[in-house]
Chains A and B, each alone.
Chain A
Amino acid sequence: MIKIPVQDKRIIFPVFVMILFCTTIVAGLIGTILPSLNYLPVIGHTQVSLSVWFDFFSYPGIQTSIFVTLFSGITASFVVVSLVFLFISVSHGNALWKFFEKILSPVLSIPHAAFAVGFGFLIAPSGWLIRLVSPLLTGFNTPPDWILLNDPAGISLTIALVIKEFPFLIMVTMGAMGQLDIKKTLFVARALGYKKEQIWLKILIPRLYPHLRLSIFAVIAYSLSVVDMAILLGPSAPSSLSVLILKWFNDPDVNFKLLASAGSLFLFFIVLLSIFFVYLLERSARVFLRPWITNGNRSSFVTLFKPMISFTGICIIIFTIISSVILVIWSFSWQWRFPDFLPATWTLKFWAKGLVSSFDPVMTTLFTGGASAFLGLLLTIGCLEYAVNSNQNRIGQNRIGQNKTLQNKAKNYTKYIHYFLYLPLLVPQITFMAGIQLLLVIMKMDGYWITLMGSHMLFVLPYMFIALSATYLSFDKRVTDQAIFLGRSYTRVLFTIKLPMLLKPILFSFAIGFSVSVAQYIPTMLVGAGRFSTITTEVVNIASGSDRRIMAVYALIQQCLPLIMFAMAIIIPKILYYNRKGMQV
């Protein structure tokens, strides 16, 4: 008797996203697997064999590359996850935590490459940290010949990864906290005599973990397969596996493409194995930690380390901030001798030079980022609209109970979309992007801006969806119902009531999508086929051998682009709704 509403045509949005994501990744993997089996007809390899794999494993220095990858990736993931859990346990709700909440967005918007350049300027033998204590404490008048940057074991890379991933995991955790009744749990358990940090470790984090699982897997996949930061901070000869793969892929000798395919498949294998290992760890922890959770012990070892953990959190933020500050100083410096803390003379020359020479890459970055974030927004809103309307269609969510079941239904549905959206974040970028690039070459479709933009969109969409979904799903449906009862069509209500009311979160999501696009290195390098350079590829390219001052200018330009978007996301609603108090919340 009840007709299925016309609006359910919206199902094309989630279906499109799922098909797009699945086919790209499957196609990418096929494009990697075949060449790794010595099958790449375009360059005359048609004899399927395992010879590529033998070549791969006997490549000089390959063991070291694999070791560096494993060491930096696993250590960084392990440290950052434990640190995030400990940090939440000791500082949730205090002033430091609130400070984190405020600065999270700008900190997250710093592109990896820009951060790596600034971090390098800090820790290098001639960097700011050693200048700070020289010559007073160290007696150095020339930079020491220590290998602090690009160290063979990848320790500087590992530390940089921890610092960069920490705010990301904190943000994901903050989002997941909305799913739990944190306040009540803390209240009840404190009444039972437990300390705050004990409650977090024993009760809240085990309950939060399922919501964080995919993000933690994404951190593992990213740390093991990072390229831009590894080029800037990681060891060079031999480099980590991902950097080696990119080098092979870009080698003028096309036969190296086979080796690159095998390598990137092996990297994928490492990622899968690590994720599986973490999954097993989680399962066994659930069993082994149960006695500890229920032992009734109210004193916590964490309490002893409280100051240390807070201090580490503060250090991470300080490092992130001064990595940007040092870029500013370098970009304006003219003469800066070693032990001096600040440059002796300053200049605008490098900004003038950098702004001119970076004009084309900046334009490419703006267009690619803007287009992919816009497309991402369209798909995100489409999927969320389907989620909101697919399961229910009624007025009066005036009873809290009803409201909850509706939202839970929509949440369940978004959970499925989540799994698809996380796919590109769990497979190493270089693995399936390399495959896609080979397929595009075969189909003679490589080097188009539209494919470049599409490849960015694969990574932009997940973050936009994660950023927008909670606010979007909790939008009071009675408002749109009321508008529809006034006789307006669904589409008109969406565009004149709902989206304008959600302007602020929508612009924020756009800014996040844009900043993710700005940070992309591998998709631009591979899918762009060398025909497109963005500010990010320029930052990484000029990093080797170029002037520090011009490097600083480029890294700052890269860092500014997302910040401008975030600033706009804050300012635009303020201007449009300056006299609407109801919109200021």
Chain B
Amino acid sequence: MSLELENLSILKQGSAIFDPVNLVIRPGEITTIMGPSGCGKSTLLSAVSGSLDRAFTLKGSILLNGRNMGDCPMEKRNIGILFQDDLLFPHMNIGGNLAFAIQEKISRVQKSQIIDKALKTAGLEGFEKRDPSSLSGGQKSRISLLRSLLAKPSALLLDEPFSTLDQTLKAKIRSFVFSQIKKMNIPALLVTHDPKDCPEGGMILNLNKEEG
């Protein structure tokens, strides 16, 4: 279970927006991509997730567990993503939001058991029936992560997921996210401009473009 980017570059109108990226992220590892805004961090993530705008062309390859993701549509890639906003579905309760992510064809009872367990790990027992908008920012972030993980992704992408949280909350959520990724044992790719977001011992890649 690893995520590999081989010679990956993204072209816009024929010219690369950053130098080719070579990366191997092993299960449970978190690699951080840093760089100033506008350097193409988010574009790189959209390439990996399969939602690249058609104005861009992709070069090189994206391998997930050795399988090339080149032509795979985004819903079949099995790559989870976490944005800076929680993006919980406002018309469903917390249980519904989490159930939406569970893919196995299992009974309702089994599903609710899974949801109970997941909520427990986040310290949010009994939240199934709650309205998403009644939750605090930190609670929403945790639910959002749980939801992504319940889809059992083979890799997780994190697009500045902590940037909207305040300083004290940030550290808590960060360690929760990182521990969950370790537990799931999946590769993760984190995009951020805050050096403090990088997990200890994780690889850091600076996205840049050589002039000339």
A interface residues (Cβ-Cβ under 8 A, vs B) = 1-3, 5-6, 391-396, 398-399, 476, 478-479, 481-490, 496-497, 500-501, 503, 576-577, 579-583
In addition to A1-B58, A392-B55, A396-B83, 17 A-B residue pairs with Cβ atoms within 8 Å of each other are A1-B71, A2-B58, A393-B54, A395-B51, A396-B42, A396-B159, A398-B42, A398-B159, A483-B100, A484-B75, A485-B80, A486-B148, A486-B151, A501-B91, A580-B131, A583-B90, A583-B91
* Residue B81, interface by CB 8 Å: yes
Complex formed: what's the CA distance from A482 to B151 in Å? Answer: 11
Complex formed: what's the CA distance from A583 to B147 in Å? Answer: 20
**Interface mask (B57-94 → A, CB under 8 Å = 1, otherwise 0):** 11100000000001101110011110111011111010
- A487-B85 contact in complex given A392-B54, A395-B51, A582-B132, C-beta closer than 8 Å: no
Complex formed: what's the CA distance from A487 to B50 in Å? Answer: 12
A–B complex contacts, Cβ < 8 Å, 11 sampled: A1-B59, A395-B45, A398-B160, A399-B42, A483-B89, A485-B81, A487-B103, A500-B91, A580-B91, A582-B132, A583-B90
- A486-B80 contact in complex given A2-B54, A393-B54, A501-B90, C-beta closer than 8 Å: yes
Q: Are B85 and A478 in contact (CB under 8 A)?
A: yes
- A485-B148 contact in complex given A1-B70, A395-B81, C-beta closer than 8 Å: yes
* Residue B52, interface by CB 8 Å: yes
Q: Are B58 and A487 in contact (CB under 8 A)?
A: no
Q: Are B133 and A580 in contact (CB under 8 A)?
A: yes
CB contact list, B119-157 vs A, under 8 A: 131-134, 147-148, 151, 153
* Residue B53, interface by CB 8 Å: yes
* Residue B46, interface by CB 8 Å: yes
Complex formed: what's the CA distance from A484 to B50 in Å? Answer: 11
Q: Are A490 and B131 in contact (CB under 8 A)?
A: no
A506 to chain B, nearest CB (A): 13
Chain B residues in 8 Å Cβ range of A581: 90, 131, 133-134
Q: Which residue of A lies closest to B160 (CB)?
A: A398
Give the B interface residue count (CB, 8 A). Answer: 44
Complex formed: what's the CA distance from A134 to B142 in Å? Answer: 73
B8 to chain A, nearest CB (A): 12
Chain B residues in 8 Å Cβ range of A583: 90-91
Chain B interface SS verdict (over half): loop
Q: Which residue of A lies closest to B57 (CB)?
A: A1
A502 to chain B, nearest CB (A): 10
A229 to chain B, nearest CB (A): 42
A224 to chain B, nearest CB (A): 45
Q: Are A478 and B89 in contact (CB under 8 A)?
A: no
Complex formed: what's the CA distance from A479 to B74 in Å? Answer: 14
Complex formed: what's the CA distance from A488 to B54 in Å? Answer: 22
A218 to chain B, nearest CB (A): 35
Chain A residues in 8 Å Cβ range of B49: 395, 485
* Residue B101, interface by CB 8 Å: yes
Q: Are B75 and A488 in contact (CB under 8 A)?
A: yes
Q: Are A580 and B159 in contact (CB under 8 A)?
A: no
Quick one: which of B53, B54, B55, B89 contacts A479, CB cutoff 8 A? B89
Complex formed: what's the CA distance from A501 to B96 in Å? Answer: 14
Q: Are A393 and B159 in contact (CB under 8 A)?
A: no
Chain A residues in 8 Å Cβ range of B55: 392
Q: Are B53 and A486 in contact (CB under 8 A)?
A: no
Chain A residues in 8 Å Cβ range of B37: 399
Chain A residues in 8 Å Cβ range of B147: 486
Q: Which residue of A lies closest to B86 (CB)?
A: A482
CB contact list, B168-196 vs A, under 8 A: none
Quick one: which of A2, A488, A496 contacts B52, CB cutoff 8 A? A2
Quick one: which of B53, B74, B84, B100 contacts A398, CB cutoff 8 A? B84
Quick one: which of A490, A501, A577, A580 contacts B75, CB cutoff 8 A? A490
Q: Which residue of B lies closest to A3 (CB)?
A: B71
Complex formed: what's the CA distance from A503 to B92 in Å? Answer: 13
Q: Which residue of B lies closest to A490 (CB)?
A: B75
- A478-B91 contact in complex given A394-B46, A396-B159, C-beta closer than 8 Å: no
Q: Are A582 and B131 in contact (CB under 8 A)?
A: yes
Chain A residues in 8 Å Cβ range of B85: 478
Complex formed: what's the CA distance from A391 to B131 in Å? Answer: 34
- A395-B159 contact in complex given A2-B57, A6-B73, C-beta closer than 8 Å: yes
Q: Which residue of A lies closest to B71 (CB)?
A: A3
Quick one: which of A6, A478, A487 contacts B87, CB cutoff 8 A? A478
For the complex of A and B, the 9 pairs showing the least CB-CB separation, nearest first, are A582-B90, A581-B133, A582-B133, A486-B151, A394-B53, A486-B101, A394-B51, A395-B51, A396-B42
Q: Are A487 and B78 in contact (CB under 8 A)?
A: yes
Chain A residues in 8 Å Cβ range of B103: 487
Q: Which residue of B lies closest to A488 (CB)?
A: B75
Q: Which residue of B lies closest to A396 (CB)?
A: B42
Q: Are B74 and A580 in contact (CB under 8 A)?
A: no
Q: Which of A5, A479, A482 has the most CB of B within 10 A?
A: A482
